[in-house]
A and B are shown apart, each in its own frame.
Chain A
Amino acid sequence: MAMIQVNPTRMELRRLKTRLKTATRGHKLLKDKSDEMIRRFMIYIRENKKLREEVEAELSVALREFMLARAVSSDAIIEEAIAMPGVKVGLETSTINVMSVNVPSFTIKEGEGKELFPYSFASVTSELDSSISTLSGLLVKMLKLAEVEKACNMLADEIEKNRRRVNALEYVMIPQLQETIKYITMKLDENERSATIRLMKVKSMIEQRKG
């Protein structure tokens, strides 16, 4: 029997009743939180999936082009061409609060570099140009993906934790409290009845002695 070991007293009963009230309220709130978190999670995860598919497809193409460029020119030329990148990515990061989960959020600052291609066009093939321009366009999407994917990871974690809390309250705490309260009430009633019976008995004994 799931019951807390307590003394069946009025004070204990009162204490347990307050606890039950808190537990029920907490359970309701957590359940609402869980619903809302799942709703947000679904929005995020759909976006995550879409972004990831896009990024993976585009990135594969860009990297393949880069491979091609490397195959055509010699390693030394390629490495020299991109050794000093002309652009710099400025990243400003913060965290935003989604259902009391702190998820990262990025803002990209335009780098001060003006030249995307830091090499002379004469030395390398056009595959390199197109690969690099795709990549730099893709960076924004990649960062968005990073943001969304992290949010998904953290939300999933939090949803799982929250579900444990809800279940613990629903299937352990609340039934336990209810049962204990019932036990104490019954015990108290029983005591009261036995007290009444005792009084009646004493009264009848006194009357008998008088009579």
Chain B
Amino acid sequence: MRSGIAVVGDKDSVLAFKAIGLEVFPVSNESEARDTVKQLARSYEVIFITDKLAKKIDNLLVRYKARPYPVVVPIPSAEGSNGFGIDGIREDVEKAIGVDILFSREDK
């Protein structure tokens, strides 16, 4: 049975989450992140991952998109957001509707 919330990312970004009682898993490189997420996917319900890493292991995260659990959510790292999360939303809109109607309006 899976339960709980995990946070994956570089050490600088995830340490803060430890203070509010989440379980943190600092990783330093891409392959480590890949292994960690694979393992966590079996035992955690929600996995927050810094968007810098998420962008690198995108092809792994796609696997979890179609099922309810685990929920993998990209969050900005300590250096700020790289737009991966917003890109995800844009992809969804394009997939569902065919055109990006949510963001195009603001670009004008």
Q: Which residues of A contact B (CB under 8 A)?
A: 38, 41, 45-46, 48-49, 52-53, 55-56, 59-60, 62-64, 66-67, 70, 78-79, 81-83, 85-89, 91, 93, 95, 102-104, 106, 111, 113, 116, 118, 128, 131-132, 135-136, 139, 142-143, 145-147, 149-150, 152-157, 159-160
Which residue of chain A has its CB nearest to the CB of B13?
A63
Q: How far is the CB of B104 from chain A (nearest CB, A)?
A: 13
CB of B99 within 8 A of chain A?
Answer: no
Q: Is the CB of A154 within 8 A of B20?
A: no
Q: Is the CB of B18 within 8 A of A82?
A: yes
Q: Which of B27-35, B52-60, B63-71 contacts A (4 or more CB under 8 A)?
A: B63-71
Known A-B contacts A91-B3, A135-B20; the reply to A153 vs B15 at CB < 8 A is no
Q: How far is the CB of B11 from chain A (nearest CB, A)?
A: 10
Q: Chain B residues near A63 (CB, 8 Å)? A: 13, 16, 76-78
Q: How far is the CB of B43 from chain A (nearest CB, A)?
A: 13
Q: Chain B residues near A66 (CB, 8 Å)? A: 15-16, 78
Q: Chain B residues near A153 (CB, 8 Å)? A: 65-66, 88, 92
Query: How many residue pairs at the A-B interface have CB separations less than 8 Å?
Result: 139
Which residue of chain A has its CB nearest to the CB of B17?
A135
What 15 additional pairs, Cβ within 8 angstroms, besides A63-B76, A159-B96? A41-B96, A45-B96, A62-B16, A78-B15, A82-B15, A82-B19, A85-B20, A85-B21, A93-B3, A93-B45, A139-B22, A146-B71, A150-B71, A153-B92, A157-B66
Q: Is the CB of A56 within 8 A of B13?
A: no
Q: Is the CB of B65 within 8 A of A154?
A: yes
Q: Is the CB of A104 within 8 A of B69?
A: yes
A-B contact pairs, 12 of them (CB 8 A): A64-B78, A66-B15, A104-B68, A106-B46, A116-B20, A142-B75, A143-B5, A149-B88, A152-B89, A152-B92, A156-B93, A159-B95
Instruction: For B96, give its contact among A38, A82, A102 (CB under 8 Å).
Output: A38
Determine the main DSSP class of A at the interface with B. helix
Known A-B contacts A45-B93, A67-B78, A155-B96; the reply to A91 vs B45 at CB < 8 A is yes
Determine the main DSSP class of B at the interface with A. mixed
Q: Chain A residues near B45 (CB, 8 Å)? A: 91, 93, 104
Q: Chain B residues near A79 (CB, 8 Å)? A: 15
Instruction: For B97, give its contact among A38, A81, A132 (CB under 8 Å).
Output: A38
Instruction: For A55, give its contact among B4, B18, B46, B75 (CB under 8 Å).
Output: B75
Bound-state CA distance A102–B69 (Å) is 10
Q: Is the CB of A89 within 8 A of B16?
A: no
Q: How far is the CB of B35 from chain A (nearest CB, A)?
A: 22
CB of B12 within 8 A of chain A?
Answer: yes
Q: Chain B residues near A139 (CB, 8 Å)? A: 20, 22
Q: Is the CB of B73 within 8 A of A149?
A: yes
Q: How far is the CB of A96 from chain B (nearest CB, A)?
A: 10
Q: Chain B residues near A56 (CB, 8 Å)? A: 75-76, 81, 85-86
Instruction: For A132, give its contact among B19, B46, B85, B86 (CB under 8 Å).
Output: B19
Q: Is the CB of A89 within 8 A of B95?
A: no
